[in-house]
Chains A and B, each alone.
Chain A
């Protein structure tokens, strides 16, 4: 074998990805050619140095930004293109969103007509009426949410969950419904939306507890990752046990395990 050929095969030789016959030929050449032997040693040193270089770690904002982006993409996707054809053919007034809008319009109209009929428009009664109106709209939003959560289409269920997430102080019923959705909905996107909606109320102890509890129930890798991230972001110490269980569970996907192990830094 000539120097040129040896040089060309040097990397494969060092990687041991070369045929036995070629290996022997190269070694025969190296016994007599000092220049090639020097080059081989230098190459080996450079390659070793590269392989010992450590991976750089990005900071946590990369993961957090990714999950924010992912969440908004899921929302966008559900609002537009993903509606199945039969859904788009249903008259507009039957679709969930318009049912709500129409309901609210009826309610507002009805209240004002009621105010007019009851005669007089004095400010105290108007502001009381408005307060009542506001709470009725909220009730309606909630009621619609409960109806939509039973809808066949996953995009309507996501919509319902995001209505719930918009409430400033949801009552126990809403929270319970979201938790039920988080643990039982058949569609992973809906469950994930429920996890995010609940995370907005995670300053309530009961909500955090239910997120922690849900973590040990979820077997879907995506939900596991989502919940671990939500709880780790809040440095929720009570999540430590389910996280450790996930780590020690043999069935856990290795990607999930990596996220779980990463979260230990803030949970321990």
Chain B
């Protein structure tokens, strides 16, 4: 059976078959939850933001343009939600407390990595600027292509490549300084 594209499902949702949103939920909720989690390190917040995202997709279904990539659209909404969340967070000045909430990644000792490494990596990522964090999450954790990130963030591919290089250089610096 040929894969039915996200775009067809979203178009159907737009036309009133809202139940088809369940397919998009099943396709995306895990990645979106992880997108939020990598940026906030807060499971409850990530869960709320994910829930919110699918609510927005239904609420603003009419603003979806049928020739537009659903994946890009979803990540755009996700970015906006995260930006709104950060604004609120900054107001309540809790942001700096968040670094204590790390949960430990499973160890992968056979590959030569230890729990400590993942811990240090997460700490290093949390020291990056919001923009750098975001580009690393989109590109490396979510595996999006530069072209896709370009569509989501409205920046040129060349600009993203440079930003990506800088973010990784920064991350590398912080990560290895900790040793």
Contact = CB atoms under 8 A, between A and B. Distances in A.
A62 B26 contact: no
Interface string A17-38: 0000000000000000000000
Given A66-B51, A82-B16, A73 B172 contact: no
Given A58-B29, A58-B46, A222-B23, A46 B172 contact: yes
Given A42-B176, A49-B117, A73-B58, A66 B4 contact: no
Contact of A39 (B21, B103, B172): B172
Chain B contact-residue range equals 35 or more
B47 A62 contact: yes
Interface in B12-50: 16-23, 25-27, 29-31, 33-34, 37, 43, 46-47, 50
Contacts of B171: 46
Contacts of B25: 63, 66, 70
B54 A66 contact: yes
B179 to A, nearest CB: 11
Contacts of B176: 42
Contacts of A61: 47
Nearest to A39: B172
Interface in A37-58: 39, 42-43, 46-58
B113 A58 contact: no
A46 B105 contact: no
A49 B121 contact: yes
Given A49-B113, A82-B16, A58 B47 contact: yes
B168 A255 contact: no
A122 to B, nearest CB: 52
A122 B104 CA distance: 74
Contacts of B73: none
A255 B23 contact: yes
Chain A contact-residue range equals 35 or more
B85 interface: no
Contacts of B50: 58, 62
A221 B27 CA distance: 12
A43 B19 contact: no
Binding site secondary structure of chain A: helix
A255 B31 CA distance: 13
Contact of A222 (B20, B34, B105, B141): B20
B169 A7 contact: yes
B98 interface: no
Contacts of B175: 42, 46
A208 interface: no
Interface stretch (B76-84, B86-94, B148-156, B159-167): B159-167
Given A49-B117, A49-B118, A62-B51, A225 B34 contact: no
B136 interface: yes
Contacts of A113: none
10 contacts: A7-B165, A7-B169, A43-B168, A50-B141, A55-B30, A56-B37, A58-B30, A58-B33, A69-B55, A189-B17
- Report, nearest first, the 3 A-B pairs whose CB atoms are least far apart: A255-B26, A58-B33, A50-B140
Interface of B: 1, 4, 16-23, 25-27, 29-31, 33-34, 37, 43, 46-47, 50-51, 54-55, 58, 103, 105-106, 108, 111, 113, 117-118, 121, 136, 140-141, 161-162, 164-165, 168-169, 171-172, 175-176
